[in-house]
Amino acid sequence: MASLHALAIAGNVSAQRSAPNEVPPAPQHLSAETRDWWDMVLSEHELEAHQLRSLQLCCEAWDRKEQARLALKQHGLTFTDDRGMIRARPETTIERNCMIAFMRGVRELGLKIEPPANSGLQPSALFDR
């Protein structure tokens, strides 16, 4: 149900593009940082309507990843269940899945991103095949 809602929103975003060179605004439910990234991507790349949907899904995956990361920062990576077993928090899976979804979306859109300055990775390590 949530994915259908996301696609409906994406359809509204792509429908807002009236002129070929007009950049559609970022969906309002995205974080301010992610809306800025949306604007940057669209200023540097000309995307088709179906790609706007992919971009929105990338943005939503990033925001969800950040929500999970903040929850993990607050609550830690593990918890002890009612039987005394140490378990991974569900947010670890959410964060991982959203990271994967974001990177797949970026790759699908053919976007080039810079790795973090202190990662030791070169840009080619992220995208060259």
26-73 pLDDT, tens digit per residue, is: 999 999 999 999 998 999 888 998 999 999 999 999 999 999 999 999
123, pLDDT greater than 80: no
In whole angstroms, what is the distance from residue 129 CA to residue 110 CA?
12
Q: How far apart are the first and last CA of the chain?
A: 35
Whole-model pTM above 0.75?
A: no
3-state secondary structure of 29: coil
**Type of residue found at 60:** E
65-93 pLDDT, tens digit per residue, is: 999 999 999 999 999 999 999 999 999 99
**Domains of the chain, residue spans:** 2-16+26-112+122-127
Q: Which residues contact residue 52 at a Cβ distance below 8 angstroms, ignoring those fewer than 6 apart? A: 10, 13, 14, 17, 24
